[in-house]
Amino acid sequence: MRMVTEQVAPGVTKANLTGRLDIGGTQEIDLPFNALAGSQRALIIDLSQVDFIASLGLRLLIVGARTVQRKGGRMALLAPPIEVESVLISSGTDNVVPIWRTLDDAIAAVSA
Amino acid sequence: MTRSPPSVPESDGGFTLRVERSMAGLARLGGWLDGIAAALRLDTRSELALRLCVEEAASNVVMHGAPGDADAGFVELRVAPEPEALRVIVEDRCGAFDPLTVPEPDLPTRLEDARVGGLGIHLMRQYAKSIDYERRDGTNRLILSIPLTRALPLSREAGSSREADRQG
């Protein structure tokens, strides 16, 4: 599991995740991901290169979104593949951390 | 990257893994499942369902299992191919815990209310064809049937795995 961050608009950071958010992958990025969520107010998690997620990965995303929200910020998910999106929907995660198809929409959502 | 033993099918066509009952131990699951998916040439949907159900079932054992005896420090996993499904058996020797008694969670509508646990059994129910639990001789055994979106080309193995079923 890899995580690379970039600034995609003023004050907006995008974290590009690559790999599987399975038990092993989630443990690999747990610390840097939580540190990132703790330091950003407008955060986009690009899931386009993530090909699996299970409840440990969902927990990572929900805890991260909550951390950002506590500071008055927003976190959004971007472009998950269909297999990952189906798990996000089955678990109701999409109800609480919005999923966007395009980067422009995600930037607008977290900047608002 | 955590190394896992090669996923080589046993004489009856099944795959077995015994891991330490800890999140670090379960980090080995990913590589083991890679090997099974390759050996059985699983399509994407079947692999997703297998990976999700194995991960959730094993995570449940780590998070909910209380120590039972000296063997409680391990989780044993077995995947056995059948003509139209994969039979997954997850065993531990912790105190009795039937995950099927866990009530369905209310799916969150607000981030503040979102629970960060309790989703595992809910997800397993979405992706498995059937889930059964039994407690026998101090062992918790969760048996899942994962549907295959296309039938596996099995010959001899299919007969062997049915034999294994009868033995429980």
Query: pLDDT tens across B110-158, in order?
Result: 888 877 667 899 999 999 999 999 999 999 999 999 999 866 655 444 4
d(CA B15, CA B17): 7
Instruction: Name, in order, each residue with C-beta under 8 angstroms of B71's C-beta and a sequence gap of 6 or more.
Output: B93
At residue B77, the pLDDT reads: 97
Kindly determine whether residue A55 and residue B120, on different chains, have CB atoms separated by under 8 Å: yes
Average pLDDT over residues B7-35: 89
At residue B158, the pLDDT reads: 41
Per-residue pLDDT of chain A (112 residues; tens, 9 = 90+): 999 999 999 999 999 999 999 999 999 999 999 999 999 999 999 999 999 999 999 999 999 999 999 999 999 999 999 999 999 999 999 999 999 999 999 999 999 7
pLDDT in tens, B88-103: 999 999 988 898 988 8
At residue B114, the pLDDT reads: 79
pLDDT band, residue B106 (cuts 50/70/90): confident
Chain A contacts in chain B segment 95-124 (CB below 8 A): 107-112, 114, 116-117, 119-120, 122-123
Give the distance from residue A92's alpha carbon to the nearest chain B alpha carbon, in angstroms: 5
CATH of segment(s) B15-106+119-167: 3.30.565.10
d(CA B53, CA B27): 15
Q: Counting one residue from A and one from B, how many pairs have CB atoms under 8 Å apart?
A: 84
At residue B163, the pLDDT reads: 39
Nearest CA in chain B to A26: B27
At residue B5, the pLDDT reads: 59
> Of A89, A92, A96, which is closest to residue B110 (Cα–Cα)?
A96
Q: Is B29 on the interface with A (CB under 8 A)?
A: yes
* Predicted confidence (pLDDT) at residue B4 exceeds the cutoff of 60: no
Residue ranges per structural domain of chain B: 15-106+119-167
d(CA A26, CA A22): 6
Dihedral, CA atoms, A66, A71, A73, A77, nearest 10 degrees?
Answer: -20
Q: In chain B, which residues have their Cβ closer than 8 Å to the Cβ of A69?
A: 111-112
* Predicted confidence (pLDDT) at residue B159 exceeds the cutoff of 70: no
> Of B80, B66, B77, which is closest to residue B29 (Cα–Cα)?
B77
At residue B105, the pLDDT reads: 82
d(CA B62, CA A44): 31
Q: In chain A, which residues have their Cβ closer than 8 Å to the Cβ of B111?
A: 62, 65-66, 69, 96-97
At residue B3, the pLDDT reads: 53
pLDDT in tens, B26-80: 999 999 999 999 999 999 999 999 999 999 999 999 887 766 666 688 999 999 9
Structural domains of chain A, ranges and CATH numbers in brackets: 2-111 (3.30.750.24)
Is B75 in contact with B57 (CB distance < 8 Å)?
no
